[in-house]
């Protein structure tokens, strides 16, 4: 063997080459060895997966690659108690994610021909209203082929939330949110088809239901299809735009002035613009310079600061915690909650418990500032960042929670720039995810916890998200998660479900929580805040205080464990 290749082999074997090699592994195959255990169907019965992937795991690569053009919805609900034996669970996409991954022909319980003709008639009666959609075939050539997308023509109607910069605010008048009962076979496949034709988009759901947004001009058709197929649903939101208009009423000029005089504008009675959030952080740093500082850890694609606030009295024995929010632009309750934590600790530091004072806190309340601003100015339901795709610029944005560099590009992360879960061209292709990761790696702090706040659903999720496996210490994560959930419920009454994100929701690779866990941060959780679907992303401002308050109780419970075991 040439000496350079010996070197490469040695480096690879010692893990020095890290991520690029990890990402070449078949999904389900773990690196470093013993980093995962299989997803238990009964958490008590889980057995540690001793390093070697099974033969079936090693042969799963092709299937996963083929099925990787998926949306968040696509990966929805794994019914934990219905899971087959562990080895099968981690390799059978069909059984894992019926919405996206079931082949078209398996929709045996629904009359596909009828659906198709209904949809076609709808499309035919709709004149093209925008520039043509980006060619879906174009991206599949550079990535990999998705047979379903290839055989389906692009629908020439504007995609919900996909407008070019010059266009006006997206109007959701008449659009509705429905909760669909997905227990019956074939229902998820119908939703997938409607979504691919851009008539509906997915908000959330669990193993037995899916929340979908139905375009106003598709309501009649989708109703007819659901009726014919006996698909049960409830209309949760009758007129989405009305809800959006009512969601965040402006403060009166008097109130505004009052807040200005105090030195910052944050109220937790409103969802605030980025300027107010950053102004608040700067105000705290100026007011409490002995223990609070801010730092821009980088810039977003559009040049906005990625601002971290640190609270620390500088003791060398302190624990370290990293908390972020706003990875997904439309989840407004997340930055509101994270800034609430900051406010509590900053304004009451001396009176705080030792668990809080003996911690070096790092808060990044808005990981995705461009997306966040875009939800205020243009499209309330935008999820991704705002980087334009390289192609026709019709579809923009990368899902930052599919762009982190641990197991990047696996299940539940799309290669389609038009998808809500577009993973980007490479791991850490986005300035926002890269800055966050670089900061954690280079800060020198030994983080005990990484908490990332999202919405909605009321879940406490621990790794792994990339596939149906859990880390070796998952029992600790589960137990601590349940303690946090208990504290939340005792404080505000909200019930949180605890579990691994792949097991409780759906496999989705490239998440920040997985990456943080892979860095060795023990307590890595994604917290999906309230509610469970009544308002979804459009949570009225009256919920900010109670949601943030009970979440703070959960955080305190975690800190107690971190400091005292």
Q: Which residues are catalytic?
A: 528
User: By rule CB under 5 A, what count of residues binds Zn ion?
Assistant: 3
Nearer to ligand 0X9, 186 or 371 (CB): 371
430 contact, one of Zn ion, ligand 0X9, none, CB 5-8 Å limit per kind: none
Minimum gap (Å) between residue 545 Cβ and Zn ion: 21
Q: Does 159 bind Zn ion (CB under 5 A)?
A: no
- Give the per-residue SS3 of 254-291: HHHHHHHHHCCCCCCCCCCCHHHHHHHHHHHHHHCCCC
Nearer to ligand 0X9, 311 or 470 (CB): 470
Q: DSSP secondary-structure letter at 482?
A: H
**313 by DSSP, 3-state: which?**
coil
Distance of CA 474 to the CA centre of its chain: 20
Buried b (16+ CB within 10 A) or exposed e, 75-107: bbbbebeebeebbebbbbbebbbbbbbbeeeeb
324 contact, one of Zn ion, ligand 0X9, none, CB 5-8 Å limit per kind: none
Q: In this structure, what token pair is assigned to residue 421?
A: 């879960």
Q: Alpha helix (H) ranges present in 288-423?
A: 333-347, 354-357, 369-377
432 contact, one of ligand 0X9, Zn ion, none, CB 5-8 Å limit per kind: none
Residue keyed to tokens 């702090």 = 445
**C-alpha torsion 129→130→131→137, nearest 10:** -90
Nearer to ligand 0X9, 188 or 319 (CB): 188
Nearer to ligand 0X9, 440 or 508 (CB): 508
What residues line the site for ligand 0X9 (CB under 6 A)? 72, 204, 328, 331, 401, 454, 461, 465, 501, 505, 508, 511, 513-514, 526, 528
Minimum gap (Å) between residue 416 Cβ and ligand 0X9: 16
310 and 349 Cβ atoms separated by less than 8 Å: no
Which range in 131-139, 422-430, 453-461, 543-551 contacts Zn ion by CB under 5 A?
A: 453-461
Backbone angles phi, psi at 452, to 5 degrees: -120, 120
265 contact, one of Zn ion, ligand 0X9, none, CB 5-8 Å limit per kind: none
Buried b (16+ CB within 10 A) or exposed e, 245-273: eebbeeeeeeeeeebeeeebbbbbbbbbe
Nearer to ligand 0X9, 28 or 186 (CB): 28
Q: Does 328 bind Zn ion (CB under 5 A)?
A: yes
Nearer to ligand 0X9, 373 or 528 (CB): 528
272 and 266 Cβ atoms separated by less than 8 Å: yes
Nearer to Zn ion, 307 or 454 (CB): 454
Which range in 4-12, 56-64, 324-332, 504-512 contacts Zn ion by CB under 5 A?
A: 324-332
Which range in 5-13, 331-339, 437-445, 552-560 contacts Zn ion by CB under 5 A?
A: 331-339
Minimum gap (Å) between residue 460 Cβ and Zn ion: 14
Minimum gap (Å) between residue 510 Cβ and Zn ion: 13
Q: Is 451 exposed, middle or buried (0-12, 13-18, 19+ CB in 10 A)?
A: buried
Q: Does 402 bind Zn ion (CB under 5 A)?
A: no
Backbone angles phi, psi at 531, to 5 degrees: -105, -150
Minimum gap (Å) between residue 455 Cβ and ligand 0X9: 6
Minimum gap (Å) between residue 9 Cβ and ligand 0X9: 31
Q: Which one of 454, 467, 471, 499 is in contact with Zn ion (CB under 5 A)?
A: 454
**Binding region for Zn ion (CB under 5 A):** 328, 331, 454
């Amino acid at each position: 063997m040439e000496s350079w290749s010996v070197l490469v082999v040695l480096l690879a074997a010692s893990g020095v080459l890290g991520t690029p090699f990890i990402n070449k592994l078949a999904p389900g195959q773990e690196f470093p060895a013993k980093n995962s255990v299989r997803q238990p169907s009964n958490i008590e019965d889980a057995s540690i997966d001793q390093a070697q992937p099974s033969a079936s795991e090693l042969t799963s690569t092709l299937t996963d690659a083929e099925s990787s053009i998926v949306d968040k919805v696509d990966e929805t609900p794994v019914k934990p108690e219905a899971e087959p034996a562990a080895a099968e669970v981690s390799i059978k996409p069909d059984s894992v994610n019926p919405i996206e991954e079931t082949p078209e022909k398996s929709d045996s319980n629904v009359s596909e021909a009828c659906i198709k003709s209904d949809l076609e008639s709808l499309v035919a009666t709709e004149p093209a209203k925008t520039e043509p959609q980006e060619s879906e075939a174009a991206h599949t050539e550079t990535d990999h082929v998705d047979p379903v997308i290839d055989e389906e023509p692009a629908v020439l109607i504007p995609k919900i939330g996909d407008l070019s910069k010059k266009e006006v605010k997206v109007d959701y008048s008449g659009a509705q949110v429905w909760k669909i009962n997905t227990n019956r076979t074939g229902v998820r496949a119908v939703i997938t088809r409607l979504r691919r034709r851009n008539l509906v988009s997915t908000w959330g759901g669990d193993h037995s239901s899916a929340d979908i947004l139905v375009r106003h001009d598709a309501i009649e058709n989708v109703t007819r299809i659901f009726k014919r197929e006996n698909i049960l649903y409830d209309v949760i939101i009758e007129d989405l735009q009305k809800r959006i208009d009512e969601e965040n009423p402006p403060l009166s000029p008097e109130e505004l002035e009052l807040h200005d005089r105090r030195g910052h504008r944050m109220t937790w009675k409103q969802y605030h613009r980025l300027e107010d959030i950053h102004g608040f952080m700067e105000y705290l740093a100026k007011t409490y310079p002995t223990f609070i500082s801010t730092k821009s850890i980088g810039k977003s694609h559009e040049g906005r600061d990625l601002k971290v606030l640190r609270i620390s009295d500088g003791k060398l024995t302190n624990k370290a915690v990293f908390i972020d929010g706003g990875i997904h632009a439309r989840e407004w309750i997340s930055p509101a909650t994270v800034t609430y934590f900051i406010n509590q600790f900053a304004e009451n530091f001396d009176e705080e418990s030792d668990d809080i004072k003996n911690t070096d806190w790092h808060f990044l309340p808005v990981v995705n500032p461009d997306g966040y601003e875009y939800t205020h100015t243009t499209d309330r339901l935008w999820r991704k960042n705002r980087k334009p795709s390289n192609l026709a610029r019709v579809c923009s944005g990368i899902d930052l929670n599919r762009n982190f560099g641990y197991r990047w590009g696996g299940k539940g992360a799309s290669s389609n720039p038009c998808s809500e879960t577009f993973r980007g061209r490479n791991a850490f292709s986005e300035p926002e995810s890269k800055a966050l990761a670089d900061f954690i790696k280079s800060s020198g702090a030994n983080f005990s916890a990484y908490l990332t706040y999202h919405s909605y659903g009321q879940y406490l999720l621990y790794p792994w998200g990339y596939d149906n496996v859990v880390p070796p210490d998952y029992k600790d994560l589960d137990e601590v998660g349940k303690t946090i959930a208990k504290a939340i419920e005792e404080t505000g009454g909200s019930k949180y479900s605890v579990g691994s994100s792949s097991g409780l929701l759906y496999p989705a690779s490239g998440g920040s929580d997985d990456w943080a866990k892979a860095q060795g941060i023990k307590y890595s959780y994604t917290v999906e805040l309230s509610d469970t679907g009544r308002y979804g992303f459009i949570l009225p401002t009256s919920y900010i205080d109670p949601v943030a308050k009970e979440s703070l109780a959960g955080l305190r419970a975690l800190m107690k464990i971190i400091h005292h075991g």
